C-alpha cells in the first residue's frame, strides 16, 4: 500500500478493493456562532496521519480492511442548497450501491440530511443514532429549513426511529415538539446522573443503524474545536463503550462526523475525531465482531 497524506490514516487503498470509503464534505453555509467547519474534513485527515495503525483494544490494524478516501465534494459559491444536497446524496448513494461502508466527514451538520436520505432509500429497519449537544429539531432557523439547527427535524420527517444522546441545549419550540412527538432523547444532565444506559439505548435501536455524530456532543474540555462548545457532554470512554456494544449487536451501515471547527491551538480536537473514526471503523470490521 502506498502512503499518501490526502488519505485517511495515510494508507491508500483503491476504491474497488476498499470496504470503507471516506467522503470529505466541506459544506459550510449556515453555521451560526463560529465559522470554520469547512476545514473539518482536511483537519481530520491530516490528524489521522498521526494515529497509530494498530488498535490496542482490538489487537488489530483496521486499515487492512481497505480505506479509500474520495476527493472532497466540491461546492461552488453559487450552488443552491438543493444543488449542494444533491451532490452529497448522490455521492453517498454511489458508495452504498458499491457495497461500501461510507464515513462522511463534515462540514456542518446540515449535510447529515442529504447523507441520511441515501441510507433511507437503501435500507429498511433503519435507526438513526444522533450524538449532539443540540436537539436540532427547529422547524426553521433564521428562515432556513435546511440549517444545521433543523437537521434532525428534517430527518424526523422521514423516519421517527431516532435516538439522541448528549442533548443539553435547545429552544422552547424544540421542547414543545419533544413534548408532542416524544422522540427518544437522552439528555446530558440525565446521563450525568445515571451514566449512559447502553442496554436500554440498544433496545430502542433497530437492526440497521446510521450514526450522525456532531462533535459538540463531546465534552469541550476533551474536544474544544467546535462552533458551539457547550459545557457538560460525553467523554471518550463513554462513547467507546457505547460503540463497542452498538457495533457488536447492530448493523451500523454508515456514519457521519460533523462540526469540527479546526484551529492550530486545539489540535487535539482533530486528533480526537480522527482516532474515534478509526476506532469505529475498527469496531465495524473487527475480525471477532
Give the interface with Mn ion as residue ranges (CB under 5 A).
132-134, 214, 216
Query: Residue 31 CB, nearest distance to Mn ion (Å)?
Result: 11
Cβ burial 260-286 (10 Å sphere, 16+ → b, else e): bbbeeebeebbbbbbbbbbbbbbbbbb
Minimum Å gap between C-beta 258 and Mn ion is 8
- Quote the CA–CA distance of 108 and 261 in Å, as a whole number: 9
Q: In terms of CB distance, is 134 or 153 closer to Mn ion?
A: 134
Q: Which residue's Cβ lies closest to Mn ion? A: 134
Q: Which is nearer to Mn ion, 165 or 253 (CB)?
A: 165
Strand order in the sheet with 126-131: 67-69, 20-25, 101-106, 251-258, 208-214, 126-131, 162-167, 184-187
Q: What nine digits make up the cell of 63?
A: 486499515
Shortest gap between Cβ of 75 and Mn ion (angstroms)? 21
* Closest approach of Mn ion to the CB of residue 240, in Å: 20
CA dihedral over 168, 239, 283, 69, signed as positive or negative: positive
For Mn ion, the closer of residues 18 and 167 by Cβ is 167
Smallest separation (angstroms) from Mn ion to the CB of 216: 4
From residue 203, alpha-carbon distances to 127, 198, 199, 227, 235 in Å are: 11, 9, 6, 32, 22
- Taking the least distance from each CB to Mn ion, the nearer of 95 and 164 is 164
Amino acid at each position: 500500500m502506498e502512503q499518501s497524506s490526502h488519505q485517511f490514516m495515510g494508507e491508500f487503498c483503491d476504491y474497488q478493493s476498499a470496504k470503507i470509503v471516506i467522503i470529505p464534505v466541506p459544506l459550510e453555509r449556515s453555521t451560526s456562532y463560529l465559522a470554520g467547519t469547512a476545514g473539518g474534513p482536511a483537519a481530520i485527515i491530516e490528524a489521522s496521519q498521526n494515529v497509530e495503525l494498530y488498535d490496542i483494544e482490538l489487537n488489530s490494524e483496521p486499515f487492512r480492511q481497505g480505506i479509500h478516501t474520495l476527493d472532497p465534494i466540491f461546492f461552488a459559491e453559487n450552488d443552491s442548497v438543493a444543488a449542494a444536497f444533491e451532490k452529497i446524496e448522490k455521492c453517498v448513494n454511489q458508495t452504498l450501491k458499491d457495497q461500501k461502508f461510507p464515513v462522511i466527514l463534515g462540514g456542518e451538520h446540515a449535510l447529515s440530511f442529504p447523507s441520511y436520505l441515501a441510507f433511507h432509500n437503501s435500507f429498511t429497519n433503519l435507526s438513526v443514532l444522533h450524538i449532539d449537544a443540540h436537539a436540532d429539531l427547529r422547524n426553521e432557523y433564521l428562515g432556513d429549513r435546511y440549517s444545521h439547527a433543523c437537521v434532525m427535524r428534517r430527518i424526523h420527517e422521514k423516519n421517527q426511529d431516532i435516538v439522541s444522546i448528549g442533548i443539553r441545549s435547545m429552544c422552547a419550540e424544540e421542547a414543545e415538539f419533544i413534548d408532542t412527538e416524544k422522540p427518544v432523547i437522552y439528555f446530558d444532565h440525565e446521563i450525568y446522573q445515571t451514566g449512559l444506559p447502553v442496554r436500554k439505548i440498544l433496545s430502542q435501536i433497530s437492526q440497521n443503524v446510521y450514526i450522525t455524530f456532531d462533535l459538540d456532543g463531546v465534552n469541550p474540555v476533551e474536544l474544544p474545536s467546535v462552533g458551539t462548545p457547550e459545557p457538560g457532554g460525553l467523554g471518550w470512554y463513554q462513547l467507546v463503550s457505547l460503540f463497542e456494544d452498538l457495533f457488536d449487536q447492530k448493523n451500523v451501515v454508515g456514519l457521519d462526523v460533523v462540526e469540527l471547527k479546526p484551529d492550530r491551538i486545539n489540535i487535539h480536537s482533530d486528533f480526537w475525531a480522527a482516532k474515534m473514526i478509526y476506532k469505529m471503523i475498527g469496531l465495524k470490521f473487527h475480525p471477532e465482531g
